[in-house]
Amino acid sequence: MTIWNLGSINADMIYDVPHLPGPGETLSANRLDRFLGGKGANMSVAAARAGAQVAHIGAVGPDGRWARDRLTEYGVDTRHIAEVDVPTGHAIIAVDAQGENNIILFPGSNHAITPDQLGQALSSASQGDLLVMQNETTLQVEAAKMARALGLTVCYAAAPFQAAAVQAVLPYLDFLILNEVEAEQLRDATGQSVTDLNIEHVIVTLGSKGARYFHRGEASDFPAHKVQAVDTTGAGDTFTGYVLAGTDHGMPMAQAIAQANRAAALMVTRHGTADVIPDLKEVHEARFD
């Protein structure tokens, strides 16, 4: 089957800093790297590197052709990525010595995806395919409704968290992935915990503690591997891409999550985003203490 990703595409400008800057602080960076990023692009690359067939629905500006080409190199179907007259999205990411980060995001062309573009892309989808979305583009509700009508499995990664956006898509979801902070934000906004949601599959990622999977309210815990983290950017997206690829390959959810935990553990030992997501061979060969 195909994983259809309505997803953001960014240039990630990553600054290595001695500590995360505080309000009003001017801070010299030790290094600057530019990577392909955006939650959408990261998930597409992760799923493709995990062996899935991935079609990306998105947009770049005239300055972003390199990003589309890079996605193609990583095995992603880029025929549904439009070039628009809006600058490509980008993120300014500060990463400290402990691997923690903060991010400034400019959406750019990620907010220029049109309903016609979306409809044309999903007209090629087949029943049983999967649609994944994040909160860095527009048209999530329209995509969820369309995918549900076409018989696709609808997955949503609720980041960056916006209460109204998440609430709008909840009725159409088969699969929800969010981190523990976002789960708390969802409860604050809706009064519902993840066990109250009428969604078949829910995964709450717990950072260094691993992940918790809820299937119709029943919880299972999956511990993380212990590694020395240098950069947590993109780890959650890597986890999501690997989980979806695993389920698309017919893995039981426990096996898909275990494999995704291995991929995320490798990811946090590397500086960068989409360009350094591990492939399936690396994930299988990795040795953890």
- The closest alpha carbon to 160, from 189, 185, 139, belongs to 185
C-alpha 234: how far from chain center: 7
In what helix (H) or strand (E) does residue 261 lie, and over which residues does it extend?
A: helix 253-267
* Nearest to 10, CA basis, from 273, 288, 282, 284: 273
Helix axes 65-73, 39-49, angle to 10 degrees: 20
Q: CA-to-CA distance for 69 and 160, rounded, in angstroms?
A: 26
Phi, psi of 26 (to 5 degrees): -100, 130
Q: Which string of DSSP letters, residue by residue, matches 63-93?
A: GGHHHHHHHHHTT-EEEEEEE-SSPPEEEEE
- Residues carrying an active site annotation: 237
